[in-house]
Chain A
Amino acid sequence: MSFETLIDQLTDDLAPVRPRRLWIDVGIMALIAVIELALLFVIGFANLDMHRIETQPTVGWRLASLGLISLVSGFAAIRSFDPTYSAKGSIRWLAAIIATCVVGGLFLGSFPGGVSALLARLEWTNGIGCASHIALLSTPPLVGLVLLGRRGAPTDMRRTRLLVGLAAAAWGAFSFVFSCPFNDPLFIVTWYGLGCTATVLIARYVLPRLARW
Protein backbone atom coordinates (compact mmCIF):
# COMPACT_ATOMS: atom_id res chain seq x y z
CA MET A 1 0.00 0.00 0.00
CA SER A 2 1.33 3.46 -0.83
CA PHE A 3 1.79 6.13 1.84
CA GLU A 4 -0.82 8.32 0.18
CA THR A 5 -3.46 5.55 0.27
CA LEU A 6 -2.69 4.76 3.89
CA ILE A 7 -2.87 8.43 4.89
CA ASP A 8 -6.20 8.76 3.07
CA GLN A 9 -7.59 5.73 4.90
CA LEU A 10 -6.38 6.90 8.31
CA THR A 11 -7.73 10.41 7.72
CA ASP A 12 -11.11 9.00 6.68
CA ASP A 13 -11.14 6.93 9.86
CA LEU A 14 -10.28 9.90 12.10
CA ALA A 15 -12.60 10.52 15.02
CA PRO A 16 -12.10 12.83 18.00
CA VAL A 17 -10.43 11.13 20.96
CA ARG A 18 -10.11 12.13 24.57
CA PRO A 19 -6.43 12.23 25.57
CA ARG A 20 -5.47 9.72 28.22
CA ARG A 21 -5.37 11.33 31.67
CA LEU A 22 -3.05 9.93 34.32
CA TRP A 23 -5.32 10.83 37.20
CA ILE A 24 -8.31 9.10 35.66
CA ASP A 25 -6.31 5.87 35.44
CA VAL A 26 -5.10 6.35 39.01
CA GLY A 27 -8.70 6.90 40.09
CA ILE A 28 -9.86 3.73 38.32
CA MET A 29 -7.19 1.66 40.04
CA ALA A 30 -7.93 3.22 43.43
CA LEU A 31 -11.59 2.38 42.93
CA ILE A 32 -10.81 -1.25 42.04
CA ALA A 33 -8.59 -1.56 45.11
CA VAL A 34 -11.12 -0.02 47.47
CA ILE A 35 -14.00 -2.12 46.09
CA GLU A 36 -11.95 -5.29 46.48
CA LEU A 37 -11.05 -4.49 50.07
CA ALA A 38 -14.61 -3.48 50.91
CA LEU A 39 -15.93 -6.75 49.45
CA LEU A 40 -13.46 -8.73 51.55
CA PHE A 41 -14.80 -7.03 54.65
CA VAL A 42 -18.43 -7.49 53.58
CA ILE A 43 -18.05 -11.25 53.01
CA GLY A 44 -16.16 -11.59 56.28
CA PHE A 45 -12.84 -12.70 54.80
CA ALA A 46 -11.15 -9.63 56.26
CA ASN A 47 -11.71 -8.07 59.66
CA LEU A 48 -10.39 -5.02 61.43
CA ASP A 49 -9.36 -6.45 64.79
CA MET A 50 -7.91 -3.49 66.68
CA HIS A 51 -6.72 -5.77 69.47
CA ARG A 52 -4.64 -7.77 67.03
CA ILE A 53 -3.25 -4.57 65.48
CA GLU A 54 -2.22 -3.32 68.94
CA THR A 55 -0.72 -6.58 70.16
CA GLN A 56 0.97 -7.78 66.98
CA PRO A 57 3.73 -5.41 65.91
CA THR A 58 4.02 -6.96 62.46
CA VAL A 59 0.50 -5.93 61.49
CA GLY A 60 1.46 -2.24 61.40
CA TRP A 61 4.69 -3.06 59.61
CA ARG A 62 2.88 -5.16 57.03
CA LEU A 63 0.19 -2.58 56.37
CA ALA A 64 2.65 0.32 56.12
CA SER A 65 5.16 -1.57 53.95
CA LEU A 66 2.70 -3.17 51.57
CA GLY A 67 0.60 -0.02 51.34
CA LEU A 68 3.66 2.04 50.44
CA ILE A 69 4.93 -0.51 47.91
CA SER A 70 1.54 -0.83 46.23
CA LEU A 71 1.11 2.96 46.06
CA VAL A 72 4.56 3.64 44.60
CA SER A 73 4.57 0.70 42.18
CA GLY A 74 0.96 1.27 41.13
CA PHE A 75 1.57 4.91 40.34
CA ALA A 76 4.78 4.09 38.47
CA ALA A 77 3.03 1.28 36.55
CA ILE A 78 0.28 3.62 35.39
CA ARG A 79 2.85 6.26 34.42
CA SER A 80 4.78 3.64 32.46
CA PHE A 81 1.79 3.22 30.12
CA ASP A 82 2.87 6.57 28.68
CA PRO A 83 5.28 5.85 25.80
CA THR A 84 7.70 8.59 26.88
CA TYR A 85 7.99 7.53 30.53
CA SER A 86 11.16 5.85 31.73
CA ALA A 87 10.59 3.62 34.74
CA LYS A 88 14.27 3.12 35.61
CA GLY A 89 14.25 5.61 38.48
CA SER A 90 10.99 4.28 39.93
CA ILE A 91 12.33 0.75 39.96
CA ARG A 92 15.47 1.81 41.80
CA TRP A 93 13.34 3.57 44.40
CA LEU A 94 11.09 0.56 44.72
CA ALA A 95 14.04 -1.77 45.21
CA ALA A 96 15.27 0.47 48.03
CA ILE A 97 11.80 0.65 49.62
CA ILE A 98 11.29 -3.13 49.44
CA ALA A 99 14.74 -3.83 50.89
CA THR A 100 14.13 -1.36 53.73
CA CYS A 101 10.71 -2.86 54.48
CA VAL A 102 12.01 -6.44 54.52
CA VAL A 103 15.02 -5.65 56.68
CA GLY A 104 12.89 -3.51 59.01
CA GLY A 105 10.41 -6.37 59.42
CA LEU A 106 13.07 -8.93 60.17
CA PHE A 107 14.23 -6.77 63.08
CA LEU A 108 10.80 -7.26 64.63
CA GLY A 109 11.41 -10.96 65.14
CA SER A 110 14.00 -13.12 66.82
CA PHE A 111 16.03 -15.77 65.07
CA PRO A 112 16.90 -18.66 67.37
CA GLY A 113 19.80 -20.80 66.23
CA GLY A 114 19.46 -23.91 64.15
CA VAL A 115 18.13 -24.49 60.68
CA SER A 116 15.48 -26.90 61.95
CA ALA A 117 14.07 -24.25 64.29
CA LEU A 118 13.84 -21.77 61.43
CA LEU A 119 12.27 -24.33 59.11
CA ALA A 120 9.69 -25.23 61.77
CA ARG A 121 8.67 -21.57 61.94
CA LEU A 122 7.85 -21.56 58.25
CA GLU A 123 4.73 -23.75 58.77
CA TRP A 124 4.63 -24.98 55.19
CA THR A 125 0.95 -25.85 54.98
CA ASN A 126 -0.25 -22.51 56.30
CA GLY A 127 2.41 -20.72 54.30
CA ILE A 128 1.32 -22.19 51.00
CA GLY A 129 -2.24 -21.15 51.88
CA CYS A 130 -1.05 -17.60 52.56
CA ALA A 131 0.90 -17.38 49.30
CA SER A 132 -2.00 -18.68 47.23
CA HIS A 133 -4.45 -16.26 48.90
CA ILE A 134 -2.13 -13.36 48.09
CA ALA A 135 -1.85 -14.43 44.46
CA LEU A 136 -5.64 -14.74 44.25
CA LEU A 137 -6.27 -11.35 45.88
CA SER A 138 -3.82 -9.79 43.42
CA THR A 139 -6.06 -10.73 40.51
CA PRO A 140 -8.45 -7.71 40.48
CA PRO A 141 -5.68 -5.07 40.49
CA LEU A 142 -3.71 -7.14 37.99
CA VAL A 143 -6.66 -7.31 35.59
CA GLY A 144 -7.28 -3.57 36.05
CA LEU A 145 -3.67 -2.69 35.32
CA VAL A 146 -3.50 -4.99 32.29
CA LEU A 147 -6.64 -3.37 30.85
CA LEU A 148 -5.22 0.10 31.43
CA GLY A 149 -1.95 -1.07 29.89
CA ARG A 150 -3.80 -2.19 26.77
CA ARG A 151 -5.32 1.25 26.43
CA GLY A 152 -1.95 2.92 26.99
CA ALA A 153 1.24 2.51 25.01
CA PRO A 154 4.01 1.14 27.24
CA THR A 155 7.31 1.17 25.37
CA ASP A 156 9.43 -0.54 28.02
CA MET A 157 7.47 -3.74 28.53
CA ARG A 158 10.15 -5.36 30.69
CA ARG A 159 9.93 -2.70 33.38
CA THR A 160 6.21 -2.12 32.96
CA ARG A 161 5.38 -5.76 33.59
CA LEU A 162 7.57 -5.75 36.70
CA LEU A 163 5.82 -2.65 38.04
CA VAL A 164 2.38 -4.03 37.20
CA GLY A 165 3.20 -7.33 38.93
CA LEU A 166 4.61 -5.59 42.00
CA ALA A 167 1.67 -3.23 42.33
CA ALA A 168 -0.91 -6.00 42.04
CA ALA A 169 1.05 -8.31 44.34
CA ALA A 170 1.57 -5.66 47.01
CA TRP A 171 -2.12 -4.79 46.97
CA GLY A 172 -3.09 -8.46 47.19
CA ALA A 173 -0.77 -8.89 50.16
CA PHE A 174 -2.04 -5.67 51.77
CA SER A 175 -5.63 -6.95 51.55
CA PHE A 176 -4.59 -10.30 52.94
CA VAL A 177 -3.10 -8.71 56.08
CA PHE A 178 -6.66 -8.12 57.35
CA SER A 179 -7.32 -11.84 57.49
CA CYS A 180 -3.85 -13.28 58.15
CA PRO A 181 -3.43 -14.56 61.73
CA PHE A 182 0.31 -15.10 61.53
CA ASN A 183 2.76 -12.76 63.22
CA ASP A 184 6.21 -14.24 62.64
CA PRO A 185 8.30 -11.91 60.43
CA LEU A 186 10.19 -14.86 58.96
CA PHE A 187 6.95 -16.57 58.00
CA ILE A 188 5.60 -13.31 56.58
CA VAL A 189 8.67 -12.40 54.56
CA THR A 190 8.93 -15.93 53.15
CA TRP A 191 5.31 -16.62 52.23
CA TYR A 192 4.21 -13.12 51.41
CA GLY A 193 7.35 -12.90 49.28
CA LEU A 194 6.45 -16.13 47.52
CA GLY A 195 2.86 -15.02 46.88
CA CYS A 196 4.07 -11.70 45.50
CA THR A 197 6.68 -13.41 43.33
CA ALA A 198 3.96 -15.63 41.85
CA THR A 199 1.95 -12.55 40.90
CA VAL A 200 4.99 -10.83 39.41
CA LEU A 201 5.65 -13.94 37.32
CA ILE A 202 2.04 -14.05 36.15
CA ALA A 203 2.25 -10.37 35.16
CA ARG A 204 5.50 -11.07 33.37
CA TYR A 205 3.78 -13.75 31.32
CA VAL A 206 0.39 -12.11 30.81
CA LEU A 207 1.15 -8.45 30.20
CA PRO A 208 3.32 -8.74 27.07
CA ARG A 209 0.69 -11.00 25.49
CA LEU A 210 -2.31 -8.86 26.32
CA ALA A 211 -0.88 -5.35 26.27
CA ARG A 212 1.43 -5.65 23.28
CA TRP A 213 0.68 -3.06 20.59
Chain B
Amino acid sequence: MIAAQGGDAPAYRRLLAELGTWLRSYYAKRLPAAMVDDVAQEVLLTVHAKRHTYDPSKPFGPWIAAIARYRWIDRLRAMKDGLTDELEEEMAAPDTGEAAHSAYTLDALLSRLKPAQANAIRLVKIEGMSVKEAAERLGQTIALVKVNIHRGLRRLSELVQAEGHEF
Protein backbone atom coordinates (compact mmCIF):
# COMPACT_ATOMS: atom_id res chain seq x y z
CA MET B 1 0.00 0.00 0.00
CA ILE B 2 2.86 2.32 0.78
CA ALA B 3 4.25 1.67 -2.71
CA ALA B 4 0.78 2.30 -4.17
CA GLN B 5 0.56 5.64 -2.37
CA GLY B 6 3.78 6.52 -4.14
CA GLY B 7 2.24 5.62 -7.54
CA ASP B 8 3.76 2.13 -8.04
CA ALA B 9 1.23 0.58 -10.47
CA PRO B 10 2.46 -3.07 -10.46
CA ALA B 11 2.46 -3.13 -6.64
CA TYR B 12 -1.02 -1.60 -6.63
CA ARG B 13 -2.33 -4.17 -9.10
CA ARG B 14 -0.96 -6.99 -6.93
CA LEU B 15 -2.47 -5.42 -3.82
CA LEU B 16 -5.92 -5.04 -5.41
CA ALA B 17 -5.88 -8.62 -6.69
CA GLU B 18 -5.01 -9.98 -3.25
CA LEU B 19 -7.56 -7.70 -1.62
CA GLY B 20 -10.21 -8.91 -4.06
CA THR B 21 -9.66 -12.50 -2.94
CA TRP B 22 -9.64 -11.56 0.74
CA LEU B 23 -12.74 -9.40 0.43
CA ARG B 24 -14.76 -12.09 -1.32
CA SER B 25 -13.93 -14.50 1.47
CA TYR B 26 -14.71 -11.82 4.09
CA TYR B 27 -18.15 -11.02 2.67
CA ALA B 28 -19.01 -14.64 1.87
CA LYS B 29 -19.32 -15.13 5.62
CA ARG B 30 -21.40 -12.05 6.15
CA LEU B 31 -23.66 -11.37 3.18
CA PRO B 32 -25.92 -13.28 0.80
CA ALA B 33 -23.89 -14.82 -2.04
CA ALA B 34 -25.43 -12.53 -4.67
CA MET B 35 -24.05 -9.44 -2.97
CA VAL B 36 -20.51 -10.61 -2.29
CA ASP B 37 -18.82 -9.58 -5.55
CA ASP B 38 -20.73 -6.32 -5.69
CA VAL B 39 -19.66 -5.21 -2.21
CA ALA B 40 -16.09 -6.47 -2.65
CA GLN B 41 -15.79 -4.33 -5.79
CA GLU B 42 -17.25 -1.36 -3.93
CA VAL B 43 -14.52 -1.76 -1.33
CA LEU B 44 -11.83 -1.80 -4.02
CA LEU B 45 -13.23 1.49 -5.32
CA THR B 46 -13.23 2.86 -1.78
CA VAL B 47 -9.64 1.76 -1.22
CA HIS B 48 -8.74 3.63 -4.39
CA ALA B 49 -10.59 6.80 -3.39
CA LYS B 50 -9.41 6.79 0.22
CA ARG B 51 -5.90 5.45 -0.14
CA HIS B 52 -4.48 8.70 1.23
CA THR B 53 -6.14 7.97 4.60
CA TYR B 54 -3.85 4.99 5.17
CA ASP B 55 -1.07 5.96 7.57
CA PRO B 56 2.15 4.23 6.41
CA SER B 57 3.43 4.09 9.98
CA LYS B 58 0.56 1.80 11.01
CA PRO B 59 -0.28 -1.79 9.99
CA PHE B 60 -2.40 -2.20 6.87
CA GLY B 61 -4.70 -4.94 8.24
CA PRO B 62 -6.78 -2.84 10.64
CA TRP B 63 -7.19 -0.14 7.99
CA ILE B 64 -8.62 -2.44 5.33
CA ALA B 65 -10.65 -4.32 7.95
CA ALA B 66 -12.22 -1.03 9.11
CA ILE B 67 -13.15 -0.10 5.55
CA ALA B 68 -14.53 -3.57 4.77
CA ARG B 69 -16.61 -3.50 7.95
CA TYR B 70 -17.92 0.00 7.20
CA ARG B 71 -19.11 -1.12 3.76
CA TRP B 72 -20.69 -4.21 5.28
CA ILE B 73 -22.65 -2.11 7.79
CA ASP B 74 -23.60 0.21 4.94
CA ARG B 75 -24.99 -2.76 3.06
CA LEU B 76 -26.92 -3.94 6.12
CA ARG B 77 -28.45 -0.46 6.34
CA ALA B 78 -29.35 -0.56 2.68
CA MET B 79 -31.04 -3.92 3.25
CA LYS B 80 -32.98 -2.35 6.10
CA ASP B 81 -34.07 0.58 3.91
CA GLY B 82 -35.17 -1.68 1.08
CA LEU B 83 -37.73 -3.62 3.06
CA THR B 84 -40.32 -3.67 0.33
CA ASP B 85 -37.92 -4.71 -2.44
CA GLU B 86 -38.59 -8.01 -4.14
CA LEU B 87 -36.15 -10.63 -2.92
CA GLU B 88 -33.93 -12.30 -5.46
CA GLU B 89 -33.54 -16.04 -5.84
CA GLU B 90 -29.86 -15.71 -4.93
CA MET B 91 -30.76 -14.48 -1.47
CA ALA B 92 -30.78 -18.08 -0.34
CA ALA B 93 -27.25 -19.00 0.72
CA PRO B 94 -25.57 -21.80 -1.22
CA ASP B 95 -25.03 -25.05 0.59
CA THR B 96 -21.35 -24.67 1.34
CA GLY B 97 -19.20 -24.65 4.46
CA GLU B 98 -18.92 -20.91 4.36
CA ALA B 99 -22.65 -20.51 4.11
CA ALA B 100 -23.09 -22.78 7.11
CA HIS B 101 -20.63 -20.68 9.05
CA SER B 102 -22.42 -17.54 7.93
CA ALA B 103 -25.78 -18.96 8.99
CA TYR B 104 -24.36 -19.87 12.39
CA THR B 105 -23.04 -16.34 12.87
CA LEU B 106 -26.29 -14.80 11.73
CA ASP B 107 -28.18 -17.06 14.13
CA ALA B 108 -25.97 -15.91 16.98
CA LEU B 109 -26.73 -12.29 16.14
CA LEU B 110 -30.44 -12.92 15.66
CA SER B 111 -30.65 -14.65 19.01
CA ARG B 112 -29.80 -11.32 20.61
CA LEU B 113 -32.85 -9.62 19.13
CA LYS B 114 -36.36 -9.71 20.47
CA PRO B 115 -38.06 -12.93 19.27
CA ALA B 116 -40.63 -11.01 17.22
CA GLN B 117 -37.88 -9.07 15.40
CA ALA B 118 -35.71 -12.15 14.84
CA ASN B 119 -38.66 -14.18 13.49
CA ALA B 120 -39.72 -11.43 11.11
CA ILE B 121 -36.16 -11.08 9.76
CA ARG B 122 -35.76 -14.86 9.42
CA LEU B 123 -38.97 -15.28 7.45
CA VAL B 124 -38.68 -12.25 5.16
CA LYS B 125 -34.98 -11.59 4.78
CA ILE B 126 -33.59 -15.12 5.02
CA GLU B 127 -36.36 -17.50 3.95
CA GLY B 128 -37.59 -15.09 1.29
CA MET B 129 -41.27 -14.86 2.28
CA SER B 130 -43.23 -11.76 1.38
CA VAL B 131 -44.13 -9.44 4.25
CA LYS B 132 -47.77 -10.48 3.85
CA GLU B 133 -46.95 -14.20 4.10
CA ALA B 134 -44.77 -13.57 7.14
CA ALA B 135 -47.56 -11.56 8.76
CA GLU B 136 -49.98 -14.48 8.27
CA ARG B 137 -47.46 -16.98 9.60
CA LEU B 138 -46.66 -14.89 12.67
CA GLY B 139 -50.24 -13.78 13.30
CA GLN B 140 -49.23 -10.12 13.12
CA THR B 141 -50.28 -7.20 10.99
CA ILE B 142 -48.21 -6.32 7.92
CA ALA B 143 -47.27 -3.00 9.50
CA LEU B 144 -46.04 -4.71 12.65
CA VAL B 145 -43.90 -7.14 10.65
CA LYS B 146 -42.34 -4.22 8.77
CA VAL B 147 -41.68 -2.40 12.03
CA ASN B 148 -40.11 -5.51 13.54
CA ILE B 149 -37.85 -6.00 10.52
CA HIS B 150 -36.88 -2.34 10.50
CA ARG B 151 -36.07 -2.27 14.21
CA GLY B 152 -34.39 -5.66 14.12
CA LEU B 153 -32.07 -4.70 11.27
CA ARG B 154 -31.25 -1.43 12.96
CA ARG B 155 -30.43 -3.32 16.16
CA LEU B 156 -28.31 -5.82 14.19
CA SER B 157 -26.43 -2.96 12.62
CA GLU B 158 -25.85 -1.41 16.06
CA LEU B 159 -24.65 -4.73 17.48
CA VAL B 160 -22.21 -5.20 14.65
CA GLN B 161 -20.99 -1.63 14.94
CA ALA B 162 -20.74 -1.61 18.72
CA GLU B 163 -18.94 -4.90 19.11
CA GLY B 164 -16.83 -5.01 15.96
CA HIS B 165 -17.84 -8.56 15.12
CA GLU B 166 -15.02 -10.59 13.64
CA PHE B 167 -16.16 -14.09 12.82
Contact = CB atoms under 8 A, between A and B. Distances in A.
A3 B41 contact: yes
Given A6-B41, A83-B63, A153-B50, A20 B13 contact: no
A14 B7 CA distance: 6
B161 A17 contact: no
B58 to A, nearest CB: 7
Interface of B: 4-7, 9, 12-13, 16-17, 20, 37, 40-41, 44-46, 48-56, 58, 62-63, 66-67, 69-70, 161
B49 A213 contact: yes
A152 interface: yes
Interface of A: 1, 3, 6-8, 10-11, 13-20, 81-84, 151-153, 155-156, 158, 213
A152 B53 contact: yes
A137 to B, nearest CB: 30
B11 to A, nearest CB: 10
A213 B73 CA distance: 13
Nearest to A5: B41
Given A83-B66, A83-B67, A15 B7 contact: yes
Contacts of B161: 156, 158
B165 to A, nearest CB: 14
11 contacts: A3-B41, A3-B44, A6-B41, A7-B16, A11-B9, A14-B4, A20-B53, A82-B53, A84-B62, A155-B67, A156-B161
Given A83-B63, A84-B58, A156-B161, A18 B12 contact: no
Majority DSSP secondary structure for residues of A touching B: loop
Nearest to B65: A84
A63 to B, nearest CB: 34
B13 A7 contact: yes
Given A15-B7, A83-B67, A10 B44 contact: yes
Contacts of A158: 161
B46 A213 contact: yes
B16 A155 contact: no
B67 A19 contact: no
A156 B73 CA distance: 10
